[in-house]
Chains A and B, each alone.
Chain A
Amino acid sequence: MKKRVLKVHQPKQRTSSKRRQFIKLSGMAVLGSGLLMACSDDDDFINPTPNVFDLGSGDLGVLNYAYALEQLEADFYEKVVNGSYWASASSIEKQVLQDLYYHEVNHRDLFDTAISAAVGSNTNLKLPSLEFDYGSLDFGSRDQVLGTAKVLEDTGVSAYNGAGRLITDPNYLVLAGKIVSVEARHASAIRTLINPGSADFAGDDVVDPVTGLDRAQDPSEILSAVGDTGFITTPFTANSLP
């Protein structure tokens, strides 16, 4: 019997009061003017794939980009905590994966609301809800679940680290910073579940042992890698992000 033990309600309609709350703070006026400038600067820009959503430029582009990654993570962990591996996992593993699920859903819905507030009535500028297909990934396999979680969390860290410099509004930079360190905490925990008692929590494959720096990648690199997984079936482009 398949029982969906953990169902997170995701409200589709944002109340106007929530939107107003967000607009009031965190320098939305800056974003607004940035959008206008981006539009006027881009008069000669022709979207090569007009029927496919483009993440956009500037702070909005970064918000849509983060929203895409958080949607993927949240969806993945929803499948995990409803899958047969999780059901039979140790209590520690259950706890970790359930927490990660909750955190990613929270992140996803924060970006959902933040972007809605930012675009106002221009809802066509907001990344839609994405659809996912994990192909042959076996949610009953501990190795496959934890291995995929590791890739997603490390990718999230690298993505936020690389996107920080693209953010103009300091409030968004701090918000991204508040999230990326939690993604790094996740990555560390997952890596230790996979290889306990090792140095993998901050292994040389992600943290350069000479500089002590974690990875940082541009959106194009991240989206290429995510695209290669085939997990996201809703097409979108990032023509205005590096």
Chain B
Amino acid sequence: MSIIKFLDEFTNESMLEKKSSRRDIFGTFGSLGKKAALAAIPFGLAGLTSKAHAQTMGDPVSALQLALTLEYLEDEFYDLALQSGVITDSAVETVYMKISQHEQAHVDFLTAGLTNAGVTPVEKPDFDFTAGGMFDPFNPSNPDAYAQLLALAQAFEDTGVRAYKGQAGNLQGSDFLTAGLQIHSVEARHASEIRRIRGLKGWITRDERGAGMPAATQAVYDGEENLIQGGLDVTTLGSGPAFSVDASTEAYDETLSGDEATAIASLFIVS
């Protein structure tokens, strides 16, 4: 399946509505859990039963294909960043190398998982990290390259956190939920580190993209100002600074829908 075709389908959320295919997907993911995930996940799967979640389940295959697309994006970004010669700070290089290792592992993990389930993984797209000329992050002669290289990393990591969270419902009841959560929290560790390298807090205040972030990245942060959790305005839980708007938005990360994550990723996808 071509990446553009896949993303088109995801953008319409049409795959999520193909209820007739759900039974097949459950079948394939049953085997996926046994073959791929079980070998890699140390805890918990042995006790996991697949009963009774069918009513609320979405589409784990399309959720994982979207995840793989985002991991391809991140993986290639960090590879090119490390090769560019733009990073001269050895501490930052250490961080990028660790993140790069994880993103490569996520690509491998998702690719193997989908393949073992009998699903063809989406192809790796052609990326354009200039986003049509807006950025030039891997060019050492661009005086803004280093700042852009950090800003894009922040945008990708914060997007990753929100996108995985947005797919949790589609993975619920599948053997891949735990692995999805285990990748999700790694993206959050990455995001916190990159943000702090950039002089920001590791967490997101309101819907602020943070100093030095290009306006084009605002879509990553729209909606992060949400105060309603579980139907309740958390600023009304108590008084004092723990319930200020700032702290109440920082304390909870928000989801991105498949549509929203796709729109952000598409800025960097040529074909």
Contacts and interface: CB of A to CB of B under 8 A. Distances in A.
A207 B182 CA distance: 9
A106 B247 CA distance: 8
B188 interface: yes
Contact of B193 (A164, A192, A210): A192
Interface stretch (A124-132, A140-148, A155-163, A228-236): A155-163
A201 B182 contact: no
B156 to A, nearest CB: 15
B237 A102 contact: no
B242 interface: yes
Interface stretch (A38-46, A49-57, A177-185): A177-185
Contacts of B165: 174, 177-178, 181
Contacts of B236: 18
A194 interface: no
Contacts of B243: 106, 109
A110 interface: yes
Contact of B185 (A101, A174, A181): A181
B105 A113 contact: no
Interface in B189-219: 189-193, 196, 201-203
A212 interface: yes
A21 B104 CA distance: 44
A201 B193 contact: yes
A21 B235 CA distance: 13
Contact of B41 (A18, A105, A213): A213
Given A178-B165, A182-B252, A211-B105, A165 B186 contact: no
A188 B105 contact: no
Contacts of A210: 40, 105
Given A103-B250, A216-B181, A199 B230 contact: no
Contact of A207 (B91, B186, B241, B251): B186
Contacts of B201: 95, 99
A120 interface: no
Contacts of B251: 102-103, 106-107, 179, 182
Contact of A214 (B48, B177, B189): B189
Given A18-B236, A106-B247, A175-B229, A199 B97 contact: yes
Interface string B147-185: 000000000000001000100110010000111011111
A33 interface: no
Contact of B109 (A21, A180, A212): A212
B202 A106 contact: no
Contacts of B3: none
B133 interface: no
Nearest to A193: B196
B170 to A, nearest CB: 10
Nearest to A95: B201
Interface in A12-55: 18, 21-22, 24-26
B27 interface: no
Contact of A216 (B44, B102, B196, B247): B44
A64 to B, nearest CB: 15
Contact of B203 (A110, A180, A185): A185
B130 interface: no
A110 B161 contact: no
Contacts of B48: 165
Nearest to A180: B185
A113 B181 contact: no
B165 to A, nearest CB: 4
A26 B230 contact: yes
A-B pairs with the 9 shortest C-beta distances?
A25-B231, A212-B105, A197-B91, A184-B188, A188-B192, A185-B192, A199-B98, A213-B182, A181-B188
13 contacts: A103-B242, A114-B230, A161-B178, A162-B178, A179-B251, A181-B184, A181-B187, A187-B189, A198-B94, A210-B40, A212-B102, A212-B105, A215-B182
Interface of A: 6-11, 18, 21-22, 24-26, 95-96, 99, 101-103, 105-107, 109-110, 112-114, 157, 160-162, 164-165, 167-168, 170-175, 177-189, 192, 196-199, 201-202, 207-218, 221, 242
